[in-house]
Structure 1
Amino acid sequence: MRELILIQVYGPDRPGLTANLCAAMASYDIAILDIGQSVIHESLSLGMLISIPPTAESAPVIKELLFTAHKLGVDIRFTPVDENDYSAWVEAEGKPRHIVTLLGRQVTAKQVAAISQLLAEHNLNIDVITRLTGRPPLGGAESRRLACVEFSVRGQPHDINGLRGAFLRLSGDLQVDIAFQEDSVFRRNRRLVAFDMDSTLIQTEVIDELAVEAGVGDQVKAITESAMRGEIDFKQSLRRRLRLLKGLDESRLQVVADRLPMTEGAERLIVNLKRFGYKIAIISGGFTYFGELLKKRLGIDYLYANRLAIEDGVVTGEVVGEIVDATRKAEFLKEIAMKENISLQQVIAVGDGANDLPMLNLAGLGIAFHAKPVVKKGARQSISTLGLDSILYLVGVRERDIVE
């Protein structure tokens, strides 16, 4: 009769340890049904589920492994596994899988406890926990350093929207970012990232900066904030703000461009995305004048934005052509995906305003970045505590694969 045994090995890691253990079983025609290994601070934890055929017996196998483990200086434990239990475990393999990503400046026991408890409450079981960022130094650690842990979980949450809402509240309470995604083939095969520009790739709203140059900063800023909260139709708000800019000298555009601050992590993110073969787009309700500068600086592949109307060297208070609003943003995203011959599930979209929501929810991975509450609530994912480069970890990139 076939025997199933779970073998667990613990002890100091060293080269050849797994090879020696498997060599001890090799002459018994043993099948390895499952195997997993992790090393933390040079301490090994190895598990193997083996099947001993009817032609062999477990006693000599166990004896051989005990002798080998003693020579290697590791502890070993054996647990018989019932065939019915094994079959039930195999059937569970087909259950839906999700990835939970914890992002912060450091990972704490309190954070992991809260996330684990929430997953258990929603009928999800953690299979694997992986650290994506490098080992943090002790003493004098950089305050801007990122820390990321990824949980691979199995099961179907009974209320997925409720779980997302709970993660959003937990993120605020713990001052971290928590992403919850379906673990599908598309997650590992994203091809395009589309960014909003103002308050996303750059840390300010360009139209507010132009308004300062025109002496109407407070008036325009109030309209901008109301539009970002979704209180005013974007087209209406843009026309109102542009009218206040009428007569602004064209030379002031370059003055504003020279002082625009890039968002934390933006260049690190895009440099690495380009290395990995991603296409990059800016789809913005801002202005092409500033988008073209970013396109040249960052190697952006696509740019869609509003073109300021300028006559006789001054801003007219109008735009050339149709305004790029929420609907147009979503249309442009579809258009780029078609050009690139990819599924929208392979698209990442990032934005901060209410006019970004249709684009965010159209993409396979839509991220509300340092967004207003209404936008965070409407998007499936959000980042509120870290820079744009944290997006690399949402697609499963490890720190060792990232160039600075």
Structure 2
Amino acid sequence: MNASHTPGATDDVPTLLVKIFGKDRPGITAGLFDTLAAYSLDVVDIEQVVTRGRIVLCALVTQPPGGVEGDVRATVHGWAESMKLQAEILSGTGDNQPRGVGRSHVTVLGHPLTSRSTAGIAASITEAGGNIDRIFRLAKYPVTAVEFAVSGVPTEPLRSALAVEAASWGVDVAVVASGLQRRARRLVVMDVDSTLIQDEVIELFAAHAGCEDKVAEITAAAMRGELDFEQSLHARVALLAGLDASVVERVREQVRLTPGARTLIRTLRLLGYQVGVVSGGFTQVTDDLKERLGLDFAQANTLEIEGGRLTGRVTGEIVDRAGKARLLRRFAAEANVPLSGTVAIGDGANDLDMLNAAGLGVAFNAKQVVREAAHTAVNVPFLDTVLYLLGITREEVETARTDED
């Protein structure tokens, strides 16, 4: 008979920790538990990791009654030897130690991820009072992404502690609270210029008008937060007055998606997310992106066209810093998603209200002022790395892509 115990109440129950390691091959897990099944032992916990073809399989089981443990040990060692594996068996009491209050997921993105940066992350977690319960890899390309499950320290202090050092380690670090809410985020809203696409759309228009230097200067000042966005918008658009409306199609053809943009949107939609864009740019481009990429929402400013030419004015609601946050709330309401279930991605000062209003605000290759204010920052040029911040692995991305094909 096996040692009796109540599931979930194993603190005082004698247990055996069975550790198997060696070259991985099919049948190892089934073989170990077939061997243990002969003694009617109950499983308390299981962990298995395969790294570069080497397996480490740990099984925590209830201890057999007196007089039988020696037989169990001999049988497990004999099975392991027959499989050309090594076995280690340790007697003890109970399960894993209870995790501390406060649980977070710490996602680390490195390009590459170095031993030094990993050591720095681990040391800072410890110094903040946290314990690393588990580590696993989310992706190996286009960046290395790993996730630490941490307990023992509240999320906000941990985020602050790691954010201070992340830049010096050359990595991006995102800290989010554990729980169902992380996977419950169902709406992603992005800025367009220098986020979804590599370009600043108004500068593409300006190049056709021969005033790109003046427009770029005004754009840079606005993105740094030095100018009022609406005033800078009107000043830049005025420089486009007289352009033939056919320029719209030429600009659409020039727009370059950010690497990983299609993968991000395709994967999110296959996983049931809704996706939208808000832009201080122009509907003449965002409407086209919405159709091409299958977006659920899109809103931007509209260039006025009369008599086949741009008038140098915009019409309708102005999408500025406050407008982007307002649109995030509107999209969330239409999608029936609470704000806590939204993700916002942007790079400029006019994205800050939106990033702060969202459940998770991501600064993507952003200005310093934005990185400091957002929940987390991504500083690699691949937009699909945002998926890892949501706990979505590269394997899930590839599976979604295969399912779509």
Mapping 1:305-384, distance limit 5 Å: 305-384=300-379
Root-mean-square deviation (Å): 2.3
1:159 aligns with one of 157, 160, 170: 157
Distance 1:151 1:361 in 2: 24
1:9 aligns with one of 15, 20, 33: 20
Deviations 1:43-77 (A, max 9, x none): 11111222226687533332332333333332222
Mapping 1:18-37, distance limit 5 Å: 18-37=29-48
In structure 1, the partner of 2:120 is: 114
Unaligned runs of 5+ in 1: 137-144
Pair 5,257 (structure 1): closer, same or farther in 2 beyond 3 Å: same
Q: Does 1:148 align with 2:145?
A: yes
Displacement of 1:98 in angstroms is: 1.6
Check the 8 A contact 2:159/2:174 in 1, yes or no. Answer: no
Check the 8 A contact 1:176/1:385 in 2, yes or no. Answer: no
Distance 1:19 1:268 in 2: 36
TM-score by length of 1: 0.88
Q: Does 1:62 align with 2:59?
A: no
Which stretches of structure 1, 4 residues or longer, exceed 6 Å deviation after superposition?
none
Check the 8 A contact 2:49/2:57 in 1, yes or no. Answer: yes
Displacement of 1:281 in angstroms is: 0.6
Deviations 1:69-92 (A, max 9, x none): 333332222223244xx48x13x2
Distance 2:109 2:380 in 1: 8
Distance 2:279 2:73 in 1: 65
Q: Which moved more, 1:4-13 or 1:222-231?
A: 4-13
Displacement of 1:313 in angstroms is: 2.4
Check the 8 A contact 1:3/1:58 in 2, yes or no. Answer: no
Distance 1:261 1:340 in 2: 28
Match of 1:274, as an amino acid? R
Distance 1:17 1:150 in 2: 26
Distance 2:157 2:188 in 1: 29
Distance 1:354 1:164 in 2: 23
Mapping 1:3-402, distance limit 5 Å: 3-52=14-63, 57-83=68-94, 86=95, 89-90=97-98, 92=99, 95-133=101-139, 145-157=142-154, 159-166=157-164, 169-170=165-166, 172-401=167-396, 402=398
Check the 8 A contact 1:285/1:324 in 2, yes or no. Answer: yes
Deviations 1:348-383 (A, max 9, x none): 211111111111122222111111100111101111
In structure 2, the partner of 1:140 is: none
Secondary structure of the 2:22 match is strand
Match of 1:162, as an amino acid? S
Displacement of 1:34 in angstroms is: 1.1
Deviations 1:84-134 (A, max 9, x none): xx48x13x2x63322222223333322322221222221222222222225
Check the 8 A contact 2:159/2:175 in 1, yes or no. Answer: no
TM-score by length of 2: 0.88
Deviations 1:304-342 (A, max 9, x none): 111112222232232212211121211111111111212
Secondary structure of the 1:78 match is strand
Displacement of 1:347 in angstroms is: 1.6
Distance 1:33 1:45 in 2: 17
Check the 8 A contact 2:108/2:146 in 1, yes or no. Answer: yes
Match of 1:121, as an amino acid? E
In structure 2, the partner of 1:142 is: none
Distance 1:160 1:320 in 2: 45
Deviations 1:253-290 (A, max 9, x none): 33322212221111222222222222111111111001
Match of 1:216, as an amino acid? C
Q: Which moved more, 1:15-24 or 1:53-62?
A: 53-62
Displacement of 1:31 in angstroms is: 1.9
Match of 2:109, as an amino acid? L
User: Identity across aligned pairs (percent)?
Assistant: 40
In structure 2, the partner of 1:139 is: none
Q: Which moved more, 1:311-320 or 1:329-338?
A: 311-320
Unaligned runs of 5+ in 2: 4-12
Pair 57,95 (structure 1): closer, same or farther in 2 beyond 3 Å: farther
Check the 8 A contact 1:29/1:52 in 2, yes or no. Answer: no
Q: Which moved more, 1:287-296 or 1:17-26?
A: 17-26
Distance 2:66 2:38 in 1: 12
Check the 8 A contact 2:198/2:258 in 1, yes or no. Answer: yes
Match of 2:37, as an amino acid? A
Pair 264,373 (structure 1): closer, same or farther in 2 beyond 3 Å: same
Displacement of 1:302 in angstroms is: 0.9
In structure 1, the partner of 2:8 is: none
